[in-house]
Structure 1
Amino acid sequence: MDGGDGAEAVAAAALVASTIPGSAIVIDPDDGPREPLPQLPLALHTSAALALQRVLQDGSGMLTGWVDSTDAAQWRHEVQQITEALGPLDREQ
């Protein structure tokens, strides 16, 4: 997954995760949609988590494009937090 698609996948997954009741993922109002998002179906949570898996897999442009390894580690940690907020992939849909 290249950098542009990967960045969009991470942003979309963060928005999805932010709609989950009790989620630790909070979107800055200046960066998010103008109107609150409704509660989204579990299938969309799963799709977002699968997209993040692709972003984090070996060979992804998002993983290889970092110059500063400290920034890369912080980014991976934040993406992992979004993934955890989305919940397990094997739940009922």
Structure 2
Amino acid sequence: LAIPPVMHLSSSTFVSDALDAISAVGLVAVESALNQGSEAALFESHGYEALVFGPGWPTWTDVSDEEFITLDHLEKATAFYSEMIRRYCCD
């Protein structure tokens, strides 16, 4: 089963809001291409904007018994998720 890549549009309001939220919580956005599957492309194929975001850095341990994230990265990701929820659900 081939999973297509997620294509972020620079003109997307959702992506722009996510970049603003990342900056607002003191993070730096890193755009990268990973050779891993994600359901985001399936959402995009049905007309929804999608973004892949998660705590930590991609490493050789991803999707293995040794996969881990640090508490600091988890807290930063939580701050981002909270900011996106505030922007989309509370304003």
* Normalised TM-score (structure 1): 0.30
User: Quick check: which one's helix share is greater?
Assistant: 1
Larger relative contact order (Cα-Cα within 8 Å, sequence gap ≥ 6): 1
* Normalised TM-score (structure 2): 0.31
